[in-house]
Amino acid sequence: MSQLNSRQQEALKYVLGPLLVLAGAGSGKTSVITQKIAHLITNCNIPADRITAMTFTNKAAREMKARVQKLLPAERSRGLTVSTFHQFGLQFLRFELVHTPLKSNFSIMDGEDSKRLLMDLMQRDNLSGADSRELVGKAIKMISDWKNDLIPPEKAADTLSDPEDMMFAHLYGLYERNLRAYNAVDFDDLIVLPVKILKQNEQVRDKWQTRIRYLLVDEYQDTNTAQYELIKLLVGTQSRFTVVGDDDQSIYAWRGAKPENMALLKQDFPTLQVVKLEQNYRSTGKILTAANSVIANNEHLFDKVLWSDKGEGKHIRVLTCLNEIDEAERVAKEIVAHRVTHDGKWEQYAVLYRSNFQARLLEAELRQLGVPYKLSGGTSFFARSEIKDVMSYLRIILNPDDDAAFLRIINTPKRGMGSVTLEKLGLLAQEYEISLLSACQHAGLKAAVGNKASHTLLDFAKFIERYTKELYDNSDPMGLVRQMIEETGYIDYIKDDSKTPQQEKVRLENIELLYASMSSLIDRAEDDDEKTIESVIRKMMLLDMLEQQQEEENINKVNLMTLHAAKGLEFDYVYIMGVEEEILPHRNSILSDTVEEERRLMYVGITRAKLELTLLLAKQRRVGRDMRHTTPSRFLDELPLEHIDYPAKKGASKLTKEQAADHYLANIKAMLAKKK
């Protein structure tokens, strides 16, 4: 505790009622949460199994739990719950299954499953646009928003003003009925269903409020309506909780996050105490002054001003480039030259941008200069076809009613099942209101699909049935999982299907990594119920949605990422590209008058920098085939002039092309001389 500053200690010690810790960027909030958990167990005599902490990512939850375990003996931290909101919701549904319409082997549908189901429903109802990715995407977004706002299907239409959108309300009702028929939930249901149960069932509500004697929530500014309701229902009238957040870093409105939940806290919990963490341990004074200056233009319920004892630091540079090609060249060459003169490592540098398309030219420049880089936002590990295939075999083991999983694997590897056969099988399943897998063993199968196809489908159903029984009966299921996948012929299929030996190697390694992850979940499980194949498959399905990007080792590479992806990270030297109107702030935000969130995004970008910050903009930018003149971002006008180096604004002359070339050549010579 002695390592905490006075405000952090105040936040740690207050345990009598509701507490909001307003934690500015880089203010050491994780230390406060982890030390507070240790304080609750050690000094307040609250058993670890009566404390629950929630956050938004698996990585954050793992790190938080690991830090608590370092502070306490193993026996004192045993039973502590540190999880994501959705993991908590999944555990809740397992405990309270009797109060849900679900059977114990329910599936969790991912985004691709939901999309496929909606397209199928649109086709079945002869709704126009079933083949339009844009329309299906809009349907998924609207249904997700309704769920997160706790609006049931029967009330969805009341929220609409455009008659053309009524189709989506109709789809919402169909979608919900089909989810239940499939014995499935989607990602949003993992919060919505627990909230519904806690609201409607006083006995369950009392049980959970008694079980959780203290609740802690990280990144509170990112909560949506359903998550806020969950918090309220879990803490009850005793209101013993700490939420930690920063309204200035609320940048996920498009995902349903509501910074106004800060105001609701004050309204719903009149005795709320507020502690502000304003000392920043990351950035220099000029960077923080710039961040404070920009964010001051937003309205605030709680004011705070970040400060640092790390000295004033260097001016923030603003570079005006001729066009987007010049901008990409400038960033790449600046990083090369800066690294040489500062004897730095590539991993100390980050280039941030508003949208992914801005990285394309920069990637080409970095490759040309031989600069290693890591592009965040690549293909998710769980989105790879071989992982989705293997997971679909496991999903149907968990839930035989999972038609989405069935359709993915019935012809992977090839079993000669054409679309006509599968359509006939689907009609049989619809007629008798059974799953596709059950239809494979129905008495009417042969008449429906023909002799040859019926034998293949029946053999497949028996294969799944056999392995389901064996996997559930086996206390060490991983050997059987491997055996099952090999028996399907899938490994041979990968070898035949891969276009190059390298592709084959990568795909097989990915499958081995999946097996290793499952084994690790079994090994780390704290009780026998968590070691079952059912528990492991469900956890892997949840990881599929929570960890949308495979964690890579950062082996000394320049970091390229969107401003959204950069939240929570820090780098010595930061470059922000495209600081122009219609890029940052984004055109859509200007049109919809939501520029405040874009300003928070700018604030997040500025506060990622520890030592130096460079902002870039182009005079012209290509849009389609046209080259258009740009306007500098309004956020540049909000920066403190005394702390920025902005030659274009101060009327300074720009380097000629020849001078810039000489400058770059001198830097390259210096780099080569250093290597010698």
Question: Which residue of the set 113, 186, 188, 219 is catalytic?
Answer: 219
Task: Place 127 in a pLDDT band, splitting at 50, 70 and 90.
Answer: low
Arithmetic mean of pLDDT, 365-380:
78
For the question of residue 177 being annotated catalytic, the response is no
Arithmetic mean of pLDDT, 211-240:
93
Cβ partners under 8 Å of residue 401, min gap 6 = 107, 181, 182, 183, 184, 435, 437, 438
For the question of residue 29 being annotated catalytic, the response is yes
Q: What is residue 667's predicted lDDT score, i.e. its pLDDT?
A: 55
d(CA 331, CA 664) in angstroms, rounded, equals 12
Q: What is residue 655's predicted lDDT score, i.e. its pLDDT?
A: 45
Question: Which residue of the set 249, 320, 488, 562 is catalytic?
Answer: 249
Tell me if 352 sits within 8 A of 473, measured CB to CB. Answer: no
For the question of residue 249 being annotated catalytic, the response is yes
Q: What is residue 418's predicted lDDT score, i.e. its pLDDT?
A: 78
Task: Place 669 in a pLDDT band, splitting at 50, 70 and 90.
Answer: low
Question: Which residue of the set 10, 13, 30, 482 is catalytic?
Answer: 30
Please determine, for residue 548, whether its predicted confidence score (pLDDT) is greater than 50.
no
Question: Which residue of the set 29, 538, 539, 557 is catalytic?
Answer: 29
Question: Which residue of the set 232, 240, 276, 608 is catalytic?
Answer: 608
d(CA 214, CA 196) in angstroms, rounded, equals 22
- pTM metric for this prediction: 0.75
% of the chain beyond a pLDDT of 90: 51
**525 phi-psi bin (left φ>0, alpha ψ -120 to 50, beta other):** beta
Answer positive or negative: Cα dihedral of 338, 346, 64, 67: negative
Determine if the peptide bond prior to 47 is cis (ω within 30°). Answer: no
Arithmetic mean of pLDDT, 562-587:
93
Answer positive or negative: Cα dihedral of 191, 521, 83, 140: negative
For the question of residue 55 being annotated catalytic, the response is no
Q: What is the pLDDT of residues 471-528, one digit of tens each?
A: 888 877 888 999 999 999 999 999 988 888 888 888 898 898 888 878 877 877 777 7
* Beta strands 241-245 and 19-23, pairing class: parallel
Please determine, for residue 128, whether its predicted confidence score (pLDDT) is greater than 90.
no
Arithmetic mean of pLDDT, 408-424:
85
Q: What is the pLDDT of residues 24-44, one digit of tens each?
A: 899 988 889 999 999 999 999
Arithmetic mean of pLDDT, 341-351:
93
Cα 399 to Cα 113, 395, 437, 468: the distances in Å are 14, 6, 10, 10
Arithmetic mean of pLDDT, 178-207:
93
